[in-house]
Structure 1
Amino acid sequence: MSKPIYVLSGPNLNLLGQREPEIYGKETLDDVRRACELRAQALGRSIVFRQSNHEGDLIDWVQEAREAASALVINPAGYGHTSVALLDALKTLSIPIVECHLSNPAARETFRRHTYVSLAATGVVSGFGLASYELAVEAAAGKSR
């Protein structure tokens, strides 16, 4: 069996369904996890699903993924716009990286239109709500065969 796909989510995503549902939707992070597990299972794959509000945790998990994962899906949330350290960690990976966003950052405030993560990403999926994660898992699975 192949290595799992790591699915990492950044700050405030633990509040999905409560925080700005008009932007991020009414689904919870647990709903996102279940949807990702089902999509991965349908593709004959597995996932490791994690969320943290702490930049260092995300960096540690990215570094862990270097050996343990077949691909990485990451919704960096606010850290995408600010974290050079996260970019540096992502640049150490030789596996596919899919950046994922529930909303479309390009259609929002100016400061959200640039993410450092995009500089290391194989591809980006954004603007489809919970389906962004499912599509990102599918893309990651397809790139890591």
Structure 2
Amino acid sequence: MTKIVVVNGPNLGRLGVREPEIYGSETLEDLRIACSQWGSELGMDVEVRQSDDEAEVIRWMHQAVDEKTPIVLNPAAFTHYSYGLADAAAQVTDEGIPLIEVHISNPASRESFRKYSVISPIATGTITGMGFWGYKLAIDAINHIVED
């Protein structure tokens, strides 16, 4: 069974509370349940993690490299400035491990500082603006990549 780790960056633990007009009313727990179900339908084991700590997110990237684990990454605010996370993400994709960048909202339609991602040029693919459905699309994409 293929394992996928879904990694969420800062403030995503506040889903359902923080700016529901942008992020919706669903919670991180709702995301965990949905991702687990979507993965199970494909015969995949999906683990959802979230941290406000940049170093912890980077450690999870290193762990993915060591364990050859595909990643769905919502870097949140780290998207725009974390060169440390970008370096760690590059280690994932340099090893040929899929890394799909996901954003619940569409950063290109928001404030100007959100329009640039240090992760997108490194990611295998990027999905934005689809809400939680974007995570399903990312899991499906990884399934497609690892089956080929």
1:26 aligns with 2:25: yes
Distance across 1 between alignment mates of 2:69 and 2:81: 26
Contact 2:32 2:47 in 1 (8 A): no
- Is residue 134 of structure 2 the alignment partner of residue 132 of structure 1? yes
Residue 141 of structure 1 deviates from its aligned partner by: 1.8
Moved more, 135-144 or 100-109: 135-144
Q: Deviations over 1:1-44 (max 9, x none)?
A: 33x11100000000000000000010000101111111110011
Aligned counterpart, 1:17: 16
CA RMSD of aligned residues (A): 1.0
Length-normalised TM-score, structure 1: 0.95
Tell me how far apart the structure 2 counterparts of residues 70 and 144 of structure 1 sit (CA, whole Å).
11
CA contact (8 A) 1:71 1:141 kept: no
Per-residue deviation, 1:137? 1.3
User: Greater relative contact order: 1 or 2 (C-alpha under 8 angstroms, separation 6 or more)?
Assistant: 1
Tell me how far apart the structure 1 counterparts of residues 140 and 105 of structure 2 sit (CA, whole Å): 18
Which runs of 5 or more structure 1 residues have no equivalent in the other structure? Answer: none
1:80 matched to 2:94? The reply is no
Structure 1 residue 70, shift from structure 2 partner: 3.4
1:119 maps to 121
Aligned length: 144
Distance in 1 (alpha carbons) for counterparts of 2:66 and 2:140: 21
Q: State the 1:92 CA deviation.
A: 0.8
Q: AA paired with 1:110?
A: S
